[in-house]
A and B are shown apart, each in its own frame.
Chain A
Amino acid sequence: MTDTHCPYCALQCAQKLGGDPIAAEPRAFPTNVGGMCQKGWTSAELLRAQDRVTSPLRRVLSTGSRGEDRFEPVGWDEALDDIAARVQAIQAADGPDGIAVFGGGGLSNEKAYQLGKFARLALRTRMIDYNGRFCMSSAAAAANRTLGIDRGLPFPLTDLNDAQVIMLFGSNLADTMPPAVQHLGGVRDRGGLIVVDPRLSATAKLTEDGAGEHVQLVPGTDLVFILGLLHIVFAESLTDDDYLAARVDGVDAVRRSVAEWWPERVAATTGVAETQLRRIARTLADASPHRGGQGAFLLTGRGSEQHVDGADTVTAVINLALALGLVGAERGGYGAITGQGNGQGGREHGQKSDQLPGYRMIADPAAREHVAGVWGVDPEILPGPGVPAVELLMSLGMPDGPRALFVHGSNVLVSAPDADAVRRRIESLDLVVVCDFIPSETAMLADYILPVTQWAEEEGTMTGLEGRVLRRRKAVEAPEGVRSELEIFSALADRLDAPSTWATEPREVYDELRRASAGGRADYAGISYDRLDAGEALYWPCLSEDHPGTPRLFADSFPTPSGRATMIAVRPVGPADALRAEAPVWLVTGRVLQHYQSGAQTRRVSKLNDSMSRAYIEIHPMLAERIGIEGIDDIRITSKRGSMVAQARISPDIRPDTVFVPFHFADEGMVNAVTNSATDPVSGMPEFKVCAVQIRKVAE
Chain B
Amino acid sequence: MKVVVIGAGMVGNRFVDELGRIAPDVDVDLLGEESYEPYNRVLLTELVAGRVDLAGLSLPTPDEGRVRVRPGVAALEIDRERQCVVTAQGDFDYDHLVLATGARGRVIPIPGLRDGLPRGAHVLRSLDDARDISAAALNVDTAVVIGGGPLGIELACGLQHRGVDVTVMSIMPTMLDRDLDASVAQVAEDAAKDLGIDFVGNAQIASVGVTDGRVTAVRLADGTSYPAGLVVLAAGTAPETSLAGAAGLETNIGIVVGDDLRTTQDPRISAIGDCAETPSGVSGLVAPGWAQARALARSIAQDTELELPPISGSAMRLKAVGMSVVTMGVRASTAVERDRVVTLSDPRERRYVELVARGDTLVGVTCVGAPDLAAHLSTQFDRPGMLPVDPMHLLMGTGSMGVVESASPTTMPAATTVCRCNGVTKGDLVHAWDGGATTVEALAGATLATTGCGGCKKLVCGIVDWLQETDPPEISQPADATRETTVPSR
Nearest chain A residue, comparing its CB with the CB of B37: A256
**Which of chain B's residues have a CB closer than 8 A to the CB of A255?**
55-56, 58
Question: Contact at A275–B421, with CB atoms within 8 Å?
Answer: no
CB-contacts of B351-409 with A (<8 A) = 371-372, 374-376, 378-380, 383-390, 393, 398-401, 403
Kindly state the separation between the CA atoms of A135 and B388 in the bound complex, as whole angstroms: 35
Tell me the minimal C-beta distance from A36 to chain B in angstroms: 6
- Chain B residue at minimum C-beta to C-beta distance from A180: B453
Question: Is B309 at the interface (CB under 8 A from chain A)?
Answer: no
B336 within 8 A of A: no
Does A259 touch B at the CB level, under 8 Å? yes
B438 to chain A minimum Cβ distance, whole angstroms, is 22
Task: Report whether A259 and B385 are in contact in the complex, using a CB–CB cutoff of 8 Å.
Answer: no
| A 200-257 contacts with B by CB, 8 A | 202, 206, 216, 218, 231, 234-237, 252-253, 255-257
Of the four ranges (under 10, 10 to 19, 20 to 34, 35 or more), the interface on chain B belongs to 35 or more
A265 and B317 within 8 A (CB) = yes
**Contact (A179, B388) CB under 8 Å given A255-B58, A656-B398, A657-B383:** no
- The stretch that binds B, out of A83-91, A326-334, A497-505, A577-585, is A577-585
Cβ distance A664 to chain B, nearest Cβ, rounded Å: 15
A626-B388, A652-B399 are known contacts. Are A35 and B374 too (CB-CB below 8 A)? no
Q: Are A273 and B372 touching (Cβ within 8 A)?
A: yes
| A584 pairs with B452, CB closer than 8 A | no
Q: List 29 A-B contacts (CB under 8 A).
A: A26-B451, A35-B452, A35-B453, A38-B421, A38-B422, A179-B421, A179-B452, A179-B453, A182-B454, A234-B56, A235-B51, A253-B61, A256-B60, A259-B58, A264-B326, A267-B378, A270-B375, A271-B375, A273-B375, A276-B375, A581-B385, A584-B384, A585-B386, A593-B420, A622-B401, A652-B401, A652-B403, A655-B398, A656-B388
Residues in A neighbouring B400, C-beta threshold 8 A: 652
Q: For chain A residues 637-667, which have a beta carbon within 8 Å of chain B? A: 652, 655-657
A442 to B400 Cα, complex, angstroms: 40
Residues of A within 8 A of B46 (CB): 235, 262
A68 within 8 A of B: no
B42-73 vs A, CB cutoff 8 Å, 1 = contact: the mask equals: 11001000011101111111000000000000
Bound-state CA distance A218–B319 (Å) is 22
B472 contacts partner chain A, Cβ-Cβ < 8 Å: no
* Closest A residue to B55 using CB positions: A255
Write the nearest CB–CB distance from A9 to chain B, whole angstroms: 13
A216 touches B398 (CB 8 A): yes
Q: Do the beta carbons of B451 and A35 come within 8 Å of each other?
A: yes
Whether a CB of chain B sits under 8 angstroms from the CB of A625 is yes
Whether B389 and A625, one on each chain, are in contact in the complex, defined by CB atoms closer than 8 angstroms, is yes
Q: Does B435 contact A (CB under 8 A)?
A: no
B319's partner among A26, A262, A625 (CB-CB below 8 A) is A262
Chain B interface (Cβ < 8 Å from any Cβ of A): 39-40, 42-43, 46, 51-53, 55-61, 315, 317-319, 324, 326, 371-372, 374-376, 378-380, 383-390, 393, 398-401, 403, 420-423, 448, 451-455
Instruction: Provide the bound-state CA to CA distance between A270 and B377, in Å.
Output: 11
Known: A626-B386, A652-B403, A656-B386. 15 other contacts (CB 8 A): A36-B421, A37-B422, A175-B420, A178-B421, A256-B59, A264-B317, A268-B378, A271-B375, A273-B371, A275-B324, A276-B372, A584-B384, A621-B401, A657-B379, A657-B383
Q: Give Cα A621–Cα B393 distance, bound, in whole angstroms.
A: 10
- CB-CB under 8 A from A202, the residues of chain B are 420
Tell whether A594 is near chain B: CB-to-CB under 8 Å: yes
| A41 & B56 in contact (Cβ 8 Å cutoff) | no
- With beta carbons under 8 angstroms apart, the residue of A38, A175, A267 that contacts B317 is A267
Let me know if B422 and A259 touch, CB within 8 A: no
Interface pair A584/B51, CB less than 8 Å apart: no
Q: Given A273-B374, A656-B398: A626 and B389 within 8 A (CB)? A: yes
Task: Write the nearest CB–CB distance from B52 to chain A, whole angstroms.
Answer: 4
Closest to A264 in B: B317
Chain B residue with Cβ nearest A26:
B451
Give the residue among B61, B315, B371 with the most A Cβ atoms within 10 A. B371
CB-based closest 8 A-B pairs:
A181-B453, A235-B52, A652-B400, A235-B56, A264-B317, A267-B375, A273-B375, A271-B379
Supposing A611-B423, A655-B398, A656-B398 touch, asked if A36 and B61 sit within 8 A by C-beta, the answer is no
Say yes or no for A274: interface residue by CB 8 A criterion.
yes
CB-defined contacts of A621 to chain B, threshold 8 Å: 401, 403
Q: Which residues of B contact A579 (CB under 8 A)?
A: 383
When chains A and B are docked, how far (Å) is the Cα of A670 from the Cα of B389?
29
Give the docked Cα–Cα distance between A228 and B456 (Å): 36
Task: Note all chain B residues with C-beta closer than 8 A to A253.
Answer: 60-61
Whole-angstrom CA separation of A584 from B56 in the bound complex: 37
**What DSSP secondary structure best describes chain B's contact surface?**
loop
Q: Which residues of A contact B388 (CB under 8 A)?
A: 622-623, 625-626, 656
A289 to B111 CA separation, bound complex (whole angstroms): 56
Q: Which residues of B contact A82 (CB under 8 A)?
A: none
Among A322-373, those with CB < 8 Å from B are none
The listed residue (B376, B378, B451) touching A41 by CB distance below 8 A is B451
CB distance from A618 to the nearest CB of B (A): 13
- A272 interface residue per 8 A CB criterion: yes
> Residue-by-residue, is A592-632 near B (CB-CB < 8 Å gives 1, otherwise 0)?
01100000000000010001000000001111011000000
Task: Answer yes or no: A260 CB below 8 A from chain B CBs.
Answer: yes
A387 within 8 Å of B (CB atoms): no
Closest to B380 in A: A657
Residues of A within 8 A of B380 (CB): 656-657
Set of chain B residues within 8 Å of A35, measured between Cβ atoms: 421, 451-454
A569 at the interface (CB under 8 A from B): yes
Tell me if A174 counts as interface (CB < 8 A to partner B): yes
Bound-state CA distance A218–B39 (Å) is 29
B377, chain A: closest CB distance, angstroms: 9
| Interchain CA distance A472-B457 in the complex, whole Å | 30
C-alpha spacing A267/B315, complex, angstroms: 12
Q: Which residues of B contact A269 (CB under 8 A)?
A: 378-379
A residues 163-191 near B (Cβ < 8 Å) are: 174-175, 178-182
Nearest chain A CB to B353 CB, angstrom units: 13
Residues of A within 8 A of B393 (CB): 622, 656
Give the nearest-CB partner of B318 in chain A: A264
Contact in complex: A267, B371 (CB < 8 Å): yes
CB distance from A34 to the nearest CB of B (A): 8
Residue of B nearest to A234 (CB): B56
In the bound complex, how far is the Cα of B88 from the Cα of A42, in angstroms? 81
**Chain A window 21-43, contacts with chain B (Cβ cutoff 8 Å), 1 for yes, 0 for no:** 00000100000010111100100
* B59 CB contacts on chain A under 8 angstroms: 256, 259-260
Give the complex CA separation of A255 and B43 in angstroms.
14
A26 to B380, CA, bound (A): 47
> In the bound complex, do residue B398 and residue A584 qualify as a contact, i.e. CB atoms below 8 Å apart?
no
Whether the Cβ atoms of A267 and B398 lie closer than 8 Å is no
Q: Can you name the residue of chain A whose Cβ is closest to the Cβ of B453?
A: A181
Measured CB to CB, the nearest residue on chain B to A173 is B453
Among candidates B51, B326, B385, B387, residue contacting A236 with C-beta atoms closer than 8 Å? B51
CB atoms of B371 and A274 under 8 A apart: yes
Query: With A174-B420, A235-B53, A584-B383 known to touch, is A38 a contact of B448 (CB < 8 Å)?
Result: yes
Q: Which chain A residue has the least Cβ–Cβ distance from B60?
A: A256
Most buried by B among A26, A268, A623: A268
Complex: how many Å from CA A115 to CA B387?
52
Tell me the bound Cα distance from A569 to B422 in angstroms: 44
* Residues of B contacting A262 in the complex (Cβ-Cβ under 8 angstroms): 40, 42-43, 46, 319
Closest to B404 in A: A652
Instruction: Determine the distance from Cα of A216 to Cα of B61 in the docked complex, in whole angstroms.
Output: 33
Q: Which residues of A contact B420 (CB under 8 A)?
A: 174-175, 178, 202, 593
Of chain B, the residue at the smallest CB distance from A208 is B407
Distance in angstroms between the alpha carbons of A174 and B453 in the assembled complex: 8
By beta carbon, the residue of chain A nearest B43 is: A262
Chain B min CB distance to A379 (Å): 36
Please, how many angstroms separate the alpha-carbon atoms of A335 and B244 in the complex? Answer: 54
Given A38-B421, A38-B448, A275 contacting B372 (CB threshold 8 A): yes
Q: How far is the CB of B149 from chain A (nearest CB, A)?
A: 16
Which A residues lie within 8 Å of B318 (CB)?
264
